[in-house]
């Protein structure tokens, strides 16, 4: 989802997602000679992570033509990058004297932002190298030019490399900037073009995706409907999956009580924008017992136009926005919601959306249901994201990212790994659970989200290949690139934090909420119906795409309980409450050792109606690949899910 150097990000509910990486350049004294390819300019400042891992000697196809086009971003380090990180930590730590002493966006720019002198020196260096500066913000410069000019600027030749059956160009060595610019350059992105999704297709978005419907029978609350004629599983008859939880049930499960999120604003970032979100959200609220939206309660901040519509599967993102908006409102019905849509699913555009939230302080809580695997993230991209997260932290803004829907990612990618940006030490990573809410909206239990699927045999007497193959689960595990942050020390077991080596590393998630689509949330959305007409319909959905906005809604309740004082970057406060009644300690066997759980699902073969028949399957719960939800912190649910006392624990 990158432009030029593009990395495709996914929405967590199974939608396509992509992100674009940023570039950072350093400051060079005006009039100083441009760097040549050998770096004869008084030394070089290495820009770590700018040579991708796939650019190997074995894949090298030779030098890139000097005339090849290059589009890049040079990200600016600002006045005091270390000071920014230090203050972001102090202002977020309940044990610090600076805790809660947030800065305004203007103060952040004044104290940590790039200076005009830095921008001028970086601009001068890039122009002298033969690159065109096509845009300047307070965070980065965009540049265009040819490979020869890029080589002069960044002291590395571009070569062509084979990757996945295609050929892309990339730096042959790690890029650098003149040493005189080391105070100004954070990183550069876009020097490789794998893959390149830079074409502008249209400013108009496509119609919604084809309708999806759940078949019945359903349980209305967990365990309320069981078919005694179906085969047993784990010594008993499994109940039918619920039709889909609604706000009343989720609020009861996570201790909302009297809190409604009044006076708090939650931002949501995704790509593109559903053309029917306002009417869909209001209709859903009216049909499912949520308060109707006040005038102005739901607003949108959208780009002037959209790009990469086909590559990103733009229509698929409408459902993501719908899920996020309706879930936040269901949990925190009085909170304001501002949707900030990206021009595409590329890193650059999603970074710009996050930047809008921070630069204008649009909200204190930001829900993000998208990401990619850690193997596709490089240090240059991570630096660009972390800079925004740190700027948000010093302003009292907290970012919540879903951890993915493929468990440890081994079955999906062939490599056990975590997802990103959830792996950042500066965000709250939200994992997933399977949730049982019984009659009278009573919380029964949760287990870690991870399912195995077994289909009913033709004669109806057995579950074939019971318990079946892994069918999806909450992302989690240990990062290979991010060191353990201070707030995880003494909480995350060494067996997890050191799973990748001797040094303790960042482990995710931090907290969790309902995500299992078999115990998921009911959403309402305008979709393309059979015959081509558009119409509103409702269906059950899950994924950590659900967990992230649910936690964002719970945080809005907690901020209201705090008399509106921003929680900011929440992880230090989340871990401070570890081991208390603030959390449900979620395990794989909530009913006791050896007592496994399952539900029965009936699905339309064509996803719409019974014209092509239905399939009946058993979904075993609490089976998340190699990840396990155990007593205490675990790599499926973190410290647990919000308990009955979570929101009230934030009261002064």
Q: What is the pLDDT of residues 98-120, one digit of tens each?
A: 999 999 999 999 999 999 999 99
> In terms of domains, do 453 and 602 share one?
yes
* Position 210 in a domain: no
Query: Is residue 35 over pLDDT 50?
Result: no
Query: What is the structure's pLDDT at 194?
Result: 72
> In terms of domains, do 176 and 251 share one?
no
**pLDDT over 70 percentage in the chain:** 92
Across the chain, mean pLDDT equals 91
> In terms of domains, do 508 and 635 share one?
yes
> In terms of domains, do 183 and 287 share one?
no
Query: Is residue 19 over pLDDT 50?
Result: no
- Number of structural domains, the chain? 2
> In terms of domains, do 168 and 253 share one?
no
- Mean pLDDT for the stretch of residues 493-516: 97
Give me the residues paired with residue 584 across strands: 641
Residue 556 makes CB contacts below 8 A (sequence gap 6+) with: 261, 264, 266, 328, 331, 332, 335, 365
Structure tokens belonging to residue 553:
């809604």
> In terms of domains, do 125 and 40 share one?
yes
Query: Is residue 31 over pLDDT 60?
Result: no
Query: Is residue 273 over pLDDT 80?
Result: yes
User: How does residue 195 score in pLDDT terms, banded at 50, 70 and 90?
Assistant: low
* Position 105 in a domain: no
Domain boundary among 189, 212, 230: 189
* Position 100 in a domain: no
Domain boundary among 157, 189, 221: 189
* Position 326 in a domain: yes
pLDDT tens for residues 128-167? 999 999 999 999 999 999 999 999 999 999 999 998 889 9
What is the C-alpha separation between 590 and 446, in angstroms, rounded?
A: 7
Place of tokens 């028949």: 613
Query: Is residue 203 over pLDDT 70?
Result: no
- Mean pLDDT for the stretch of residues 295-309: 95
Cα Rg, the chain, nearest whole Å: 25
* Position 514 in a domain: yes
**In a 10 Å sphere around its CB, with 0-12 CB exposed, 13-18 middle and 19+ buried, how is residue 175 labelled?**
buried
Query: What is the structure's pLDDT at 2?
Result: 30
Query: What is the structure's pLDDT at 5?
Result: 35
Question: Which CATH number fits the domain that encloses residue 445?
Answer: 3.40.50.200
* Position 431 in a domain: yes
Query: What is the structure's pLDDT at 378?
Result: 79
Give the DSSP letter of residue 210.
B
pLDDT tens for residues 456-492? 999 999 999 999 999 999 999 999 999 999 999 999 9
Query: Is residue 359 over pLDDT 50?
Result: yes
User: How does residue 272 score in pLDDT terms, banded at 50, 70 and 90?
Assistant: very high
> In terms of domains, do 181 and 311 share one?
no
Q: Comparing 29-43, 122-136, 214-228, 394-408, which segment has the lowest mean pLDDT?
A: 29-43
* Position 200 in a domain: no
Q: Comparing 8-17, 188-197, 294-303, which segment has the lowest mean pLDDT?
A: 8-17
Query: What is the structure's pLDDT at 205?
Result: 67
* Position 470 in a domain: yes
Whether the upstream peptide bond of residue 361 has omega within 30° of 0, thus cis, is no
Query: What is the structure's pLDDT at 1?
Result: 33
Predicted TM-score (pTM) of the model is 0.92
Q: How far lies 369's CA from each of 12, 208, 266, 427, 459, in Å?
A: 5, 19, 14, 13, 41
Q: Comparing 373-377, 523-527, 609-613, which segment has the lowest mean pLDDT?
A: 373-377
> In terms of domains, do 398 and 485 share one?
yes
Domain boundary among 189, 223, 238: 189
Query: Is residue 297 over pLDDT 90?
Result: yes
Spell out the alpha helix ranges (H) of 191-290. Answer: 247-253, 277-287
User: How does residue 24 score in pLDDT terms, banded at 50, 70 and 90?
Assistant: very low
Per DSSP, the residues of 514-569 read E--GGG-EEEEEEEE-TTS-EEEEEEEE-SHHHHHHHHHHHHHHHHHHTTT----S
Coil, helix or strand at residue 237: coil
Query: What is the structure's pLDDT at 311?
Result: 87
Query: Is residue 17 over pLDDT 90?
Result: no
> In terms of domains, do 410 and 504 share one?
yes
**pLDDT over 90 percentage in the chain:** 86
Beta strands at 450-455 and 469-473: parallel, antiparallel or unpaired: antiparallel
> In terms of domains, do 184 and 252 share one?
no
Query: What is the structure's pLDDT at 629?
Result: 98
pLDDT tens for residues 589-646? 999 998 999 999 999 999 999 999 999 999 999 999 999 999 999 999 999 999 999 9
Containing structural domain, residue 368: 247-650
> In terms of domains, do 573 and 487 share one?
yes
> In terms of domains, do 148 and 262 share one?
no
Residue 104 makes CB contacts below 8 A (sequence gap 6+) with: 361, 395
């Amino acid at each position: 989802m990158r432009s030029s150097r593009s990395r495709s990000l996914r929405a967590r509910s199974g939608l396509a997602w992509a992100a674009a990486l940023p570039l950072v350049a350093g400051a060079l004294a005006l009039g100083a000679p441009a760097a040549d390819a050998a770096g004869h300019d008084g030394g070089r400042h290495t820009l770590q992570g700018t040579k991708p891992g796939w650019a190997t000697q074995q894949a090298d196809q030779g030098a890139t033509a000097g005339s090849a086009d290059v589009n890049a971003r040079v990200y600016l380090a600002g006045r005091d990058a270390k000071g920014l990180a230090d203050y972001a930590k102090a202002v977020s730590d309940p044990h610090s004297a600076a805790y809660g002493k947030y800065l305004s966006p203007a103060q952040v720019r004044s104290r940590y932002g790039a200076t005009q002198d830095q921008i001028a020196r970086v601009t001068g260096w890039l122009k002298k190298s033969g690159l065109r500066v096509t845009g300047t913000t307070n965070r980065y410069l965009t540049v265009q030019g040819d490979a020869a000019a890029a080589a002069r600027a960044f002291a590395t030749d571009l070569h062509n490399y084979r990757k996945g059956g295609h050929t892309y160009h990339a730096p042959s060595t790690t890029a650098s900037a003149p040493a005189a610019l080391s105070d100004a350059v954070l990183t550069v992105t876009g020097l490789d073009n794998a893959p390149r999704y830079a074409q502008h297709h249209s400013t108009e978005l496509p119609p919604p995706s084809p309708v999806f419907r759940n078949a019945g029978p359903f349980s209305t609350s967990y365990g309320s409907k069981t078919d005694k004629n179906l085969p047993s599983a784990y010594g008993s008859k499994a109940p039918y999956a619920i039709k889909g939880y609604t706000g009343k049930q989720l609020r009861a499960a996570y201790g909302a009580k009297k809190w409604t999120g009044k006076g708090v604003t939650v931002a949501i970032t995704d790509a593109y924008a559903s053309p029917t979100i306002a009417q869909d959200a209001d209709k859903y609220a009216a049909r499912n017992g949520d308060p109707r939206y006040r005038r102005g309660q739901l607003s949108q901040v959208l780009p002037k136009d959209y790009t990469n519509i086909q590559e990103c599967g733009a229509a698929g993102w409408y459902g993501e926005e719908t899920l996020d908006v309706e879930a936040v409102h269901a949990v925190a019905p009085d909170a304001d919601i501002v949707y900030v849509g990206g021009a595409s699913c590329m890193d650059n555009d999603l970074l710009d959306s996050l930047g809008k939230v921070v630069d204008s302080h649009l909200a204190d809580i930001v829900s993000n249901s998208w990401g990619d695997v850690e193997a596709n993230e490089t240090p240059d991209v991570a630096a660009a994201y972390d800079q925004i997260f740190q700027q948000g932290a010093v302003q009292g803004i907290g970012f919540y990212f879903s951890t993915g829907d493929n468990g440890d990612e081994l079955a999906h990618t062939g490599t056990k790994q975590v997802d990103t940006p959830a792996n950042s030490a500066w965000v709250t990573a939200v994992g997933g659970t399977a949730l049982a809410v019984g009659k009278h909206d009573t919380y029964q239990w949760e287990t870690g989200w991870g399912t195995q699927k077994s289909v009913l045999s033709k004669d109806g007497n057995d579950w074939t290949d019971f318990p079946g193959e892994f069918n999806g689960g909450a992302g989690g595990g240990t990062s290979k690139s991010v060191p353990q942050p201070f707030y995880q020390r003494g909480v995350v077991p060494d067996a997890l934090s050191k799973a990748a080596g001797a040094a303790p590393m960042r482990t995710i998630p931090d907290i969790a909420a309902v995500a299992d689509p078999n115990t998921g949330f009911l959403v309402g959305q305008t979709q393309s119906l059979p015959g081509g007409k558009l119409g509103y319909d409702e269906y059950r959905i899950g994924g950590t795409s659900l967990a992230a906005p649910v936690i964002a809604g719970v945080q809005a309740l907690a901020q209201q309980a705090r008399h509106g004082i921003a929680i900011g970057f929440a992880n230090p406060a989340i871990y401070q409450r570890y081991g208390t009644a603030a959390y449900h300690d979620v395990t794989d066997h909530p009913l006791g050792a050896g007592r496994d759980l399952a539900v029965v699902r009936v699905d339309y073969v064509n996803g719409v109606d019974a014209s092509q028949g239905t399939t009946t399957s058993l979904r075993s719960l609490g089976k998340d690949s190699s990840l396990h939800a155990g007593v205490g912190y675990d790599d499926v649910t973190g410290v647990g899910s919000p308990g009955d006392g979570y929101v009230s624990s934030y009261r002064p």
